[in-house]
């Protein structure tokens, strides 16, 4: 599992505030916070403090989004294995 990037976390939980540069709105509780220059610390602090399960929520979102693709890949692999073992039984 690759490390979760701060940038991706913030993109998932913060949206820009129209007309207010460097301000972002939390998608969970709608609070507005200012993002420091080149740093996500202020935004991440809020998530850590108010939504301590945000990493879980984020990973769950990723799972849900890619569920179809993973099922397809897994299903194909599993089917291929079954066919392979069936062929082996018949041939040998
Ligand atoms: Zn919040």
- Tens-digit pLDDT profile for residues 73-83: 455 556 666 66
Q: What is the pLDDT of residues 37-64, one digit of tens each?
A: 888 999 999 999 999 999 999 998 888 8
Ligand 1 geometric centre to CA of 86 (Å): 54
DSSP string, 11-64: HHHEEEETTEEEEEEETTT--EEEPPTT--HHHHHHHHHH-TTHHHHHHHHHHH
Q: How confident is the model at residue 36 (pLDDT cuts 50, 70, 90)?
A: confident
What is the domain range of residue 27? 6-91
pTM, 2 dp: 0.65
Residue 16 lies inside a defined structural domain of this protein:
yes
Residue 51 lies inside a defined structural domain of this protein:
yes
Q: Please tell me the total count of domains within the chain.
A: 1
Residue 1 lies inside a defined structural domain of this protein:
no
Ligand 1 geometric centre to CA of 64 (Å): 22
Ligand 1 geometric centre to CA of 67 (Å): 26
């Amino acid at each position: 599992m690759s490390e979760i990037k701060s940038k991706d976390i913030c993109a998932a939980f913060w949206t820009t505030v129209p007309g207010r540069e460097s301000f972002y709105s939390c998608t969970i509780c709608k609070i507005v916070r200012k993002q420091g220059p080149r740093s996500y610390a202020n935004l991440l602090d809020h998530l850590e403090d108010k939504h301590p399960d945000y990493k879980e929520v984020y990973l769950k979102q990723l799972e849900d989004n890619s569920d179809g693709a993973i099922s397809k890949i897994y299903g194909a692999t599993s089917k291929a294995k079954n066919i392979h073992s069936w062929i082996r039984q018949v041939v040998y």
